[in-house]
């Protein structure tokens, strides 16, 4: 978790945090309203005036989340 608040423009951090905190959520199947809610629920997230979310930001976060998820080690059964 970051030591300071972060907002929508920190897409790399958000994607990494989503991958770590939501291992059972498939980022390929999530809609933007649900993705937005997951992001705003992250500890330390603060919406910044003048930097609201938009489709491009959400698409970028989703792409990074997918990439991060693929890089995470899988638990063996």
In angstroms, the CA 4 to CA 26 distance is 28
Domains of the chain, start order: 11-71 (1.10.10.600)
Put residue 28 in one of left, alpha, beta given phi > 0 → left and psi -120 to 50 → alpha.
alpha
pLDDT mean over 43-68: 94
Contacts of residue 43, defined as CB under 8 A and 6 or more positions apart, other chains included, come to 1
pLDDT at 67 (0 to 100): 95
Closest to 1 measured CA to CA, from 40, 37, 45:
45
pTM above 0.85, yes or no: yes
Q: Three-class SS of residue 71?
A: helix
Q: What is the pLDDT of residues 5-43, one digit of tens each?
A: 999 999 999 999 999 999 999 999 999 999 999 999 999
pLDDT at 74 (0 to 100): 61
């Amino acid at each position: 978790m970051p030591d300071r608040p972060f907002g929508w423009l920190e897409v790399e951090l958000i994607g990494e945090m989503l991958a770590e905190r939501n291992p059972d959520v498939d980022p390929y199947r999530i809609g933007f309203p649900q993705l937005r809610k997951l992001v705003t629920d992250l500890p330390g997230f603060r919406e910044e005036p003048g930097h609201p979310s938009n489709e491009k930001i959400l698409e970028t976060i989703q792409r990074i989340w997918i990439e991060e998820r693929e890089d995470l080690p899988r638990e063996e059964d």
